[in-house]
Amino acid sequence: MKHLQVFFLTVFSGISMMSAQDACYWQQHVDYTMTVDMDVKTYQYTGTQKLVYTNNSPDELGRVFYHLYYNAFQPGSEMDIRLQNIKDPDNRMMDGGQSRISTLSESEMGYLHALSLTQDGQPVKFKEEGTILVVDLAKPIPSGGKTTLEMTFKGQVPLQIRRSGRNSAEGVALSMSQWYPKMSEYDFEGWHPNPYIAREFHGVWGNFDVKITLDKEYTVGGTGYLQNPDEIGHGYETPGTKVKTKGKTLTWHFLAPNVHDFMWAADPDYIHDTLDMENGPTLHFFYKNNPEFVENWKKLQPKTAEAMTFFSKNIGKYPYEQYSVVQGGDGGMEYAMSTLITGNREFGSLVGVMVHEMAHSWFQHILATNESEHAWMDEGFTSFISSLCMNQIMEQNKQNPFEGSYRGYYALVNSGLEMPQTTHSDRYTTNFAYGISAYSKGSIFLSQLGYIIGQDKLMETIQKYYEDFKFKHPTPNDIKRTAEKVSGMELNWYLTDWTMTTNTIDYGIKSVEANGDKTKVALERIGEMPMPLDILVVGKDGTQETYYIPLRMMFGQKDNPYPNLERTVLDNWAWAYPTYEFDINMPLEEVQAIMIDPSQLMADVDGENNVYQANP
């Protein structure tokens, strides 16, 4: 039935925005000032942290929680034990069927410990619980109050097992993410002291002032603007500056305003290239001089600029002056103003991972959803927009750039392993179910929303969502409300069925029969999840027309998605009725084919019954 497809997907942009803000919304604020001294031989480091915490909540806070992520990389940690018990462990973390964490020696494991901690100068009681530090404050922080927490800490960078660590498989010395004592987020739901078991983060918005001291041979890249480029050099200096350094170490001073995390990476052999975009950020690239891949890293640079332009145009302007693509880690992971990606890749794969991680700058590092609870909003939305971006910048010209996501979702449904998207990211029974749910089903949330409200309205929704919720913590209801405001439709049914249940969509053509000079079509709803329907009718003479059946509980209808075809808008279909009948203005003998949803953007789990074809 491929020839019947009349799929059009047009991405519009440049729609003007109104700024809206929920009057009762609040969020906490942090100002970090940190120094860290890294011993590049032992991979041990010590640091100081001055954290000014502003309590914008309506509540008095008697205790606070910090994340100590590196404690996950110890034999017997929750991360290690989970790895040993889950049916489909992450291959990167396994070696010969064994958890790589379980075999780490004292000198290879990770740790992060608070050595001292004061609140406004007074010592406080603190206790480590695995990857969480629980702090009983000396005096409660009142609503609207500020307090200064000063800590000294020491850490050891683990062998690279997952995301951060030392000596990655590609030989990157230091991938420093999740490396500092990080204040846990307190929001309208309360504290989020999630232990570091597998994945996904939630952080407090604020400003970071970080000084990193290490061997002067190392080049550092990551989050933040370097404050002392002419003392540092390493490709940061003003062109023509002669950089003179004394001693064995350098102290790098970074400032990162309005972010919720801080990552850095360092290696003595990094090549450091920069690309100044016109009206845009400066792009930085840090990568190893691997002769096999160095050419790909050069070709990656203009593609990175193209991706930046694409996202700024289609979501909203990138708000920082810098973005860094850094080789490190173990795949790809997004951070504030930067990403860590593995670099020994074919060109297409290198562009693909850069595009995905850069898209996270919007869907996580600007629109900071709680990933642990709603991974579909960052991984899914990122997958959606990266598919569009790849289609354009790599000239893939796919008719349906989201096809892979639909395939994955159908495979998950058929596996019987699906769990609702409301499941905490760490508590899916399988990594498979988490992955498809977060990435594929999350991407379909948007592509299918485009089917429901129309593609123009979808892009308008994404842009308004960005304008209204940038630098905040949007929730699932926020994207739904935005789509409702843009489309004029009621969409609660969509959010609840798609994200809170495992209900599936299955509509079918039940019968097609002659009805005088017309043709009577009976449709049935087999799945529990409701949807509006687009129906394409193709005549034997090649004519095409469409019929549209709005869903009653939408209380609205979309514009004609196929403006070149005549569309008949039929009566709405109320969900409780299992069947629906309508007439086509064409005698049965002239009908060649009838198809439900020619765009295939509606995730109908059984495509077989979506098509009627006259006997050849």
Shortest separation between residue 382's beta carbon and Zn ion, angstroms: 5
At residue 209, what are phi and psi to the nearest 5 degrees?
Answer: -120, 110
Q: Are strands 29-39 and 122-123 parallel, antiparallel or unpaired?
A: unpaired
The DSSP output letter for 101 is: G
Q: CB-wise, 135 or 390, nearer to Zn ion? A: 390
Residue 188 amino acid letter: F
Contact yes or no for 319/467 (Cβ under 8 A): no
Shortest separation between residue 462's beta carbon and Zn ion, angstroms: 17
Shortest separation between residue 135's beta carbon and Zn ion, angstroms: 31
142-143-147-149 Cα dihedral, nearest 10 degrees:
90
Please work out, in degrees rounded to the nearest 5, the angle formed at the alpha carbon of residue 223 by the alpha carbons of 265 and 226.
95
Q: CB-wise, 379 or 468, nearer to Zn ion? A: 379
String of contacts with Zn ion for each residue 427-446, x by CB under 5 A: --------------------
List the end-to-end C-alpha distance of the chain, in Å, as a whole number: 13
Contact yes or no for 264/176 (Cβ under 8 A): yes
Tell me how far apart the 2 most distant CA atoms of the chain are, in Å. Answer: 94
Q: Are strands 122-123 and 219-222 parallel, antiparallel or unpaired?
A: unpaired
**Segment 146 to 205, residues that bind Zn ion, using CB under 5 A:** none
At residue 368, what are phi and psi to the nearest 5 degrees?
Answer: -90, 80
Q: CB-wise, 47 or 442, nearer to Zn ion? A: 442
Shortest separation between residue 331's beta carbon and Zn ion, angstroms: 9
Locus of tokens 């495992």: 502
Q: CB-wise, 379 or 467, nearer to Zn ion? A: 379
Contact yes or no for 449/494 (Cβ under 8 A): yes
Strand order in the sheet with 165-166: 165-166, 174-176, 264-267, 219-222
String of contacts with Zn ion for each residue 361-390, x by CB under 5 A: ------------------x-----------
Shortest separation between residue 246's beta carbon and Zn ion, angstroms: 42
Shortest separation between residue 241's beta carbon and Zn ion, angstroms: 37
Q: CB-wise, 69 or 254, nearer to Zn ion? A: 69
Q: Give every CB contact of residue 66 below 8 A, 6+ residues apart in sequence.
A: 114, 132, 133, 135, 181, 182, 183, 184
Residue 278 amino acid letter: E
Shortest separation between residue 330's beta carbon and Zn ion, angstroms: 13
Q: CB-wise, 261 or 379, nearer to Zn ion? A: 379
**Segment 560 to 579, residues that bind Zn ion, using CB under 5 A:** none
Contact yes or no for 436/412 (Cβ under 8 A): yes
Counting residues that bind Zn ion (by CB under 5 A) gives 1
Locus of tokens 């954290």: 51
Shortest separation between residue 379's beta carbon and Zn ion, angstroms: 5
Q: CB-wise, 371 or 418, nearer to Zn ion? A: 371
Shortest separation between residue 90's beta carbon and Zn ion, angstroms: 14
Q: CB-wise, 345 or 558, nearer to Zn ion? A: 345
Question: For Zn ion, which residue has the nearest CB?
Answer: 379
Distances, alpha carbon 53 to alpha carbons 186, 338, 401, in Å: 11, 25, 44
DSSP H or E run through 309 = helix 294-314
Q: Quick one: which of 71, 76, 74, 257 has its CA closest to 181?
A: 71
Q: CB-wise, 204 or 358, nearer to Zn ion? A: 358
Q: CB-wise, 218 or 311, nearer to Zn ion? A: 311
Q: Quick one: which of 576, 598, 214 has its CA closest to 400?
A: 598
**Segment 291 to 350, residues that bind Zn ion, using CB under 5 A:** none
Shortest separation between residue 307's beta carbon and Zn ion, angstroms: 14
Shortest separation between residue 332's beta carbon and Zn ion, angstroms: 7
**Segment 21 to 40, residues that bind Zn ion, using CB under 5 A:** none
**Segment 112 to 141, residues that bind Zn ion, using CB under 5 A:** none
Distances, alpha carbon 65 to alpha carbons 140, 473, 480, 607, in Å: 14, 19, 31, 49
Q: CB-wise, 334 or 597, nearer to Zn ion? A: 334
- Residues of this chain that interact with Zn ion (CB under 5 A) are 379
